[in-house]
């Protein structure tokens, strides 16, 4: 953005004409349009941002949506190359802007609720676009810069976005448009916008040189986007299936995109467009791809005006199926598939069919939950929760060395620090929420990032966050010496017998929770490693002493020697897999004691998908890989229900795509392929879990590891491993033998 760029907004006369005033702008659209006559060979690179969201078209072609999600102190702008979309003659630059006002709704469930994950500091629709049109030699021919070019605006007062039961945790995103009153072709060159009002410039985007010199901070602080632009690729539906009263569009798999429908029909015809993740309820393994079953979900409704209408929803939609009723297609419907451009650098395949299928649905789950932020689920909330995101970070490391979205997430959470020392449980968010246990997951995630990447500079930048979180927990220790009531929402897991307590262990309501204390102990260890790695050994030692004190008190007050397990609390008689897993991860038991505790806990309800990562790590530490294979059946069973992504929960799904469930990605690389990095050395310790063969690539920070394992006719094993250049490796065999090597290794047993 340059100094001469100004914000433009809706002038007062347009507000008065439409009888929509400040206080009622939330969920409404302003359409900004600029026309330029351009000679052949012209070039244009532009910066663009808006309050609160925009979608940009050039000559009727959709380009991108933005701005990248920030917060009250971070208003991002995008830099986009528009040269390929220019043409000789008249060109139209069209920007649809949504104002997101959280104060309009009484609460976040209200029908006019703001989109939950969109935060902005302005108080009305505003657009800033900076770009000069040049010839190939760089000579300026004209400009589309707001405040200089002739931008026109039209406020749509005929509808506002609304929320229903399917979107009430996301916000108002459903559209209901009567095209007899609302313009449709305004993005194209043939549209006459001469009656539109000239947009009002109302101040520079950047502070003046003087203000910068004296440290005056603008209310809207713009900065360049920190992650790549999202991919957008026009994609056809795999099937268009006519039924009695509607048409079903099948995308072939769960996906995110901007659909485009072209209709013809008489004026007044109502078209209903329903976006579905599945048919049926998907409970307990029931198939989700039976089109004869019922389906309900998000709906957009439009009314035709008698002319051909091409309709594109403003907000990105998630679907596997779309059901369209009313109207006739004048062109085949398509959608622009979108998502974070993650380079996938790992792979796994086998002669056993479920391996590749499970890899594919797990990878699709992760990628569908990566947009401008990580998301818990793309269909419902679109929110970046710390617990979910920490797991998504680990799964990202398993498949790619691209850590752009990881660093963006850590920054988002860092910016969510509250005065009390806890983080908001989700960020960015128009309605802040504190989930007190989630701050511990941030401690895990920050250390895991530093350990994986070696980026101690970022670790030093954010390490004060960890100190504040750990001190908050230390201040909640009660007379037992354990952490007691931590306030807010101490969520642990959505396991079945905790549904009525909101995912909280019943022990928490009686006194200290063993699980929360064990999570705190693990966070202390992560904090100790972080502070040690970043040059603060004294603080690291303090954390380790605290950790030992917590672990000794958990063992003294909560361990049942007869059962060989940790109770949920000093006075609570419940046992869970969660408590045993956290005890094992914290090293409370010997390997034999760990196996006993984990084996005994198999009589307890299983961990849900969201907490299975810790369960699998405990099994790994105890050498119980055979149980890991049995537990993978919960994911393998998804294939027989017709899943193309992993649902939020295995038996009672709400969302069909929830990235905390993409655990198989990690297990394929860490357990089956057995590839991990320790002290900058590549360790290969395969556990094939009854598979006869496995091959593929495992990415590491040092580069890709190529692996092939297969059982020969004599039941011995054949290994071929190729390391990255200059990397050192160690193959650990099942009997414990270690083979050091570099380059390529061929080995048979």
Of 336, 337, 333, 338, the closest CA to residue 240 belongs to 333
Residues of the chain with CATH 2.60.120.260: 6-227, 232-339
Superfamily of domain 6-227: Galactose-binding domain-like (2.60.120.260)
CB neighbourhood size of 70 (10 A): 27
Q: What 3-state class would DSSP assign to 125? A: coil
pLDDT value of residue 433: 96
For 346-377, write each residue's pLDDT tens digit.
999 999 999 999 999 999 999 999 999 999 99
pLDDT value of residue 734: 85
pLDDT value of residue 108: 86
pLDDT value of residue 497: 87
What is the average per-residue pLDDT within 408-434? 97
Q: How far apart are CA 190 and CA 35, in angstroms?
A: 11
Q: What is the DSSP string of 300-316?
A: EEEE--SS-EEE--SS-
Task: Examine residue 523 and say whether the peptide bond preceding it is cis (omega within 30 degrees of 0).
Answer: no
pLDDT classification of 694: cutoffs 50, 70, 90: very high
Percent of the chain exceeding pLDDT 70 equals 100
Percent of the chain exceeding pLDDT 90 equals 93
Question: Is 600:618 a contact under the CB 8 Å cutoff?
Answer: no
pLDDT classification of 652: cutoffs 50, 70, 90: confident
pLDDT value of residue 650: 84
pLDDT value of residue 182: 97
pLDDT value of residue 284: 87
pLDDT for 495 beyond 90: no
Q: How far apart are CA 455 and CA 335, in angstroms?
A: 39
What is the average per-residue pLDDT within 616-622? 97
pLDDT for 21 beyond 90: no
Residues of the chain with CATH 2.60.420.10: 673-749
For 496-545, write each residue's pLDDT tens digit.
889 999 999 999 999 999 999 999 999 999 999 999 999 999 999 999 99
Q: How far apart are CA 586 and CA 523, in angstroms?
A: 10
725's tokens: 């250049």
* Average pLDDT of the chain to the nearest whole number: 96
DSSP assignment letter at 746: E
What is the average per-residue pLDDT within 560-587? 97
Superfamily of domain 232-339: Galactose-binding domain-like (2.60.120.260)
Q: What is the DSSP string of 609-665?
A: GGGHHHHHHHHHHTT-HHHHHHHTHHHHTTGGGT-SS--SSSSS-S-S--GGG-HHH
pLDDT value of residue 84: 98
Distance of CA 539 to the CA centre of its chain: 33
pLDDT for 443 beyond 90: yes
Specify whether domain 673-749 bears CATH 3.30.70.3270.
no
What is the average per-residue pLDDT within 479-489? 98
CATH T-level assignment (fold) for domain 435-608+615-622: Glycosyltransferase (1.50.10)
For 181-238, write each residue's pLDDT tens digit.
999 999 999 999 999 999 999 999 999 889 989 999 898 999 999 999 999 999 999 9
pLDDT classification of 106: cutoffs 50, 70, 90: confident
Of 391, 369, 387, the closest CA to residue 425 belongs to 387
For 712-721, write each residue's pLDDT tens digit.
888 899 999 9
Residues of the chain with CATH 1.50.10.10: 435-608+615-622
For 285-328, write each residue's pLDDT tens digit.
899 999 999 899 999 999 999 999 999 999 999 999 999 999 89
Residue 499: is it exposed, middle or buried by C-beta count within 10 angstroms (0-12/13-18/19+)?
Answer: exposed
Q: How far apart are CA 204 and CA 2, in angstroms?
A: 9
């Amino acid at each position: 953005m340059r100094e001469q760029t100004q914000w433009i907004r809706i002038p007062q006369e347009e507000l008065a004409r439409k009888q929509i005033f400040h206080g009622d702008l939330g969920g409404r659209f302003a359409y900004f349009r600029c026309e330029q006559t351009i000679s052949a060979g012209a070039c244009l690179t532009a910066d663009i941002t808006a309050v609160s969201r925009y979608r940009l078209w050039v000559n009727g072609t959709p380009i991108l949506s933005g701005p990248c999600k920030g917060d009250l102190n971070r208003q991002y702008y995008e830099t986009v190359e528009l040269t390929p979309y220019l043409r000789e003659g008249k060109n139209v630059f069209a920007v649809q802007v949504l104002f997101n006002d959280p104060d309009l709704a009484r609460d976040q469930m209200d029908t006019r609720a703001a989109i939950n994950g969109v935060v902005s500091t302005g108080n009305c629709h505003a657009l800033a676009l900076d770009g000069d049109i040049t010839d190939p030699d760089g000579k300026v021919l004209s400009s589309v810069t707001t405040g200089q070019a002739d931008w026109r605006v039209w406020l749509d007062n005929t509808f506002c976005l609304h929320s229903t039961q399917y979107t009430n945790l996301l916000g108002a995103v459903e559209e209901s448009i009567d095209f007899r009153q609302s313009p449709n072709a305004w993005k194209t060159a043939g549209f006459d916008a001469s009656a539109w009002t000239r947009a009002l410039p109302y101040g520079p985007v950047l502070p003046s040189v003087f203000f910068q010199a004296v440290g005056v901070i603008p209310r809207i602080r713009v900065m360049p986007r920190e992650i790549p632009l999202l991919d957008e690729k026009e994609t056809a539906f795999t099937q268009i299936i006519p039924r009695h009263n509607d048409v079903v569009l099948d995308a072939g798999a769960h996906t995110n995109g901007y659909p485009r429908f072209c209709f013809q029909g008489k004026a007044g015809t109502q078209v209903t467009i329903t976006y579905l993740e599945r048919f049926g309820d998907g409970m307990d393994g029931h198939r989700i791809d039976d089109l004869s079953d019922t389906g309900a979900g998000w709906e957009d409704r439009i009314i035709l005006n008698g002319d051909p209408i091409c309709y594109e929803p403003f907000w990105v939609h998630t679907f596997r199926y779309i059901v369209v009723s009313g109207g006739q297609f004048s062109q085949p419907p398509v959608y622009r598939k979108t998502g974070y451009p993650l380079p996938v650098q790992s792979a796994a395949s086998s002669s056993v069919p479920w391996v590749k299928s499970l890899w594919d649905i797990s990878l699709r789950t992760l990628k569908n939950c990566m947009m401008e932020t990580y998301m818990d689920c793309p269909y419902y909330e679109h929110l970046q929760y710390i617990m979910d995101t920490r797991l998504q970070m680990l799964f990202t490391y398993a498949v790619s060395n691209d850590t752009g979205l990881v660093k963006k997430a850590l920054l988002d959470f860092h910016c969510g620090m509250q005065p009390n020392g806890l983080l908001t449980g989700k960020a960015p968010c128009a309605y802040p929420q504190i989930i007190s246990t989630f701050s511990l997951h941030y401690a895990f995630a920050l250390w895991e990032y530093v350990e994986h990447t070696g980026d101690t500079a970022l670790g030093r930048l954010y390490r004060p966050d960890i100190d504040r979180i750990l001190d908050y927990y230390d201040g909640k220790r009660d007379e037992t010496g354990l952490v007691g009531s931590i306030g807010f929402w101490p969520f642990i897991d959505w396991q079945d017998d905790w549904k009525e307590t909101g995912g909280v262990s019943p022990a928490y309501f009686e006194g200290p929770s063993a699980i929360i204390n064990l999570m705190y102990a693990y966070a202390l260890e992560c904090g100790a490693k972080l502070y040690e790695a970043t040059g603060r050994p004294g603080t690291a030692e303090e954390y380790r002493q605290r950790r030992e004190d917590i672990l000794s008190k958990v063992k003294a007050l909560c361990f049942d020697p007869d059962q060989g397990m940790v109770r949920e609390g000093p006075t609570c008689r419940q046992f869970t897999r969660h408590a045993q897993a956290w005890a094992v991860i914290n090293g409370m038991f010997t390997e034999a004691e760990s196996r006993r505790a984990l084996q005994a806990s198999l009589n307890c309800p299983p961990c849900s998908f969201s907490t299975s990562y810790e369960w699998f790590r405990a099994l790994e530490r105890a050498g119980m890989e055979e149980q890991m294979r049995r537990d993978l059946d919960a994911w393998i069973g998804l294939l027989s229900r017709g899943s193309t992504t992993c649902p939020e929960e295995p038996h009672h799904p709400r969302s069909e795509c929830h990235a905390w469930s993409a655990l198989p990605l990690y297990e394929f690389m860490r357990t089956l392929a057995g590839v991990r990095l320790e002290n900058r050395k590549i360790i290969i310790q395969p556990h094939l879990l009854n598979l006869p063969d496995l091959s593929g690539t495992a990415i590491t920070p040092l580069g890709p590891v190529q692996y092939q394992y297969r059982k020969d006719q004599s039941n011995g094993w054949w290994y071929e491993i190729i390391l990255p250049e200059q990397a050192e490796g160690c193959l650990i065999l099942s009997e414990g033998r270690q083979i050091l090597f570099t380059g390529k290794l061929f080995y048979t047993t």
